[in-house]
Amino acid sequence: MVQILFNFITLFTLTLIFGHGNTVTHQDVCGELIHVDEAVVIDGPFHENCMMQFETQEDRILAFSVVDGNIIETRELFTIHDGISTESPILLAGNQKILEYSRKDLPATFYSTQSAAIVRFIKTPSAKMSLKIQKAVSCSLNVGPESQCGRVVDEISCYCANFNNKNHPDQTMFCIDNKMTLVSFENRTEEEFVQKTWSTQIPYWTSLTDTRRDGTWVWEGTMTILNPGDYTHWFPGRPSLANDNEEDCMLYGGNTFFGYWSDVNCITTLANAICEAHP
């Protein structure tokens, strides 16, 4: 039994370390155009005048970081140009958006403002280095007068809190109007980052509802059915089990439910909201 448990823990740890299955590693790519599907790691070797073009999905942006290092400290080695025209400006640390609500411990990252960029080496690096380029969503400073946005979970997604009290359909539309969706908590980690950033003192709508069919809870943001075994964080006694009940939308927070989830009336309940956008 202990052995089985040990194997399980080892497997789990390995999955955490090597679990980013969609990262493609490239070498010897000077002069090439590289498509970034999700994430790409460029292992070098880099040399003076090495130039690479990157492009991703048209409505997404590129996030540049250095594996095992800080991209800001390596910036005398290369420049990143925002776009692939000859006039594309160089991305500078000072011109990058400062998102106050972002996690402070995320890897230092440079963001393009469009879906293509050029990296141009000025010097040959003296030590081995790897560049990481990821597809990301752009993140506004806010999405309205009473909102706050940030890279709250990771460096490629964006989350915004809306402090206007509205019912569930109106908050759903608020997120959609800003090219986002109401938040869907995939796991405890994601929920904890969001709750740490904006607290649980006031209630926030999420995308979880059983409006379409009582008893079948769907994260409408990701169109995923909540199956047995999936992550949940219901308040004791929730969701309400009565058939055809009127409590069809999930919110968390406030003095009754704290960080836990509760099902409440979608139309008559007014609450704040968390919107999210993933690449």
Ligand X SMILES: *[C@@H]1O[C@H](CO)[C@@H](O)[C@H](O)[C@H]1NC(C)=O
- Could you list the residues that contact ligand X (CB under 6 A)? 153-154, 186-187, 189-190
Burial of 217 per CB tally in 10 Å (0-12, 13-18, 19+): buried
Q: Which two tokens stand for residue 256?
A: 């009754």
Task: Tell me if the bond preceding 45 is cis, omega within 30° of 0.
Answer: yes
Q: Which is nearer to ligand X, 55 or 186 (CB)?
A: 186
Smallest gap from residue 186 Cβ to ligand X (A): 4
Q: Which is nearer to ligand X, 101 or 269 (CB)?
A: 101
The size of the chain, in residues, is 279
**Contact present, 149 and 97 (Cβ < 8 Å):** no
Q: Which residues contact 11 (CB under 8 A, 6 or more apart)?
A: none
With respect to ligand X, which residue has the nearer C-beta, 22 or 265?
22
Shortest reach from residue 194's CB to ligand X, in Å: 10
Residue whose CB is less far from ligand X, 75 or 132: 132
Whether the CA torsion 228, 234, 237, 242 is positive or negative: it is: negative
Cα 139 versus chain centre, distance: 10
Find the shortest distance in angstroms from Cβ 12 to ligand X.
10
> Which of 154/220 has CB closer to ligand X?
154
Tell me the C-alpha distance between 234 and 133, whole Å: 37
- The DSSP letter of residue 45 is -
Q: Which amino acid, residue 156? A: I
Between 10 and 189, CB nearer to ligand X: 189
Continuous H helices in the chain: 2-18, 168-177, 188-198, 254-257
**Amino acid letter for position 77:** L
As measured in angstroms, the least distance from the Cβ of 154 to ligand X is 5
Q: How far is the CB of 104 from ligand X (least distance, A)?
A: 18
State the minimum distance, in angstroms, from the CB of residue 187 to ligand X.
Answer: 4
Q: Which is nearer to ligand X, 167 or 224 (CB)?
A: 224
Nearer to ligand X, 187 or 243 (CB): 187
Least distance from C-beta 153 to ligand X, angstroms? Answer: 5
Q: Which helix (H) or strand (E) holds 160?
A: strand 158-166
Cα–Cα distance between 96 and 111 in angstroms, integer? 7
Smallest gap from residue 274 Cβ to ligand X (A)? 13
Q: Point out which residues pair with 110 in neighbouring strands.
A: 64
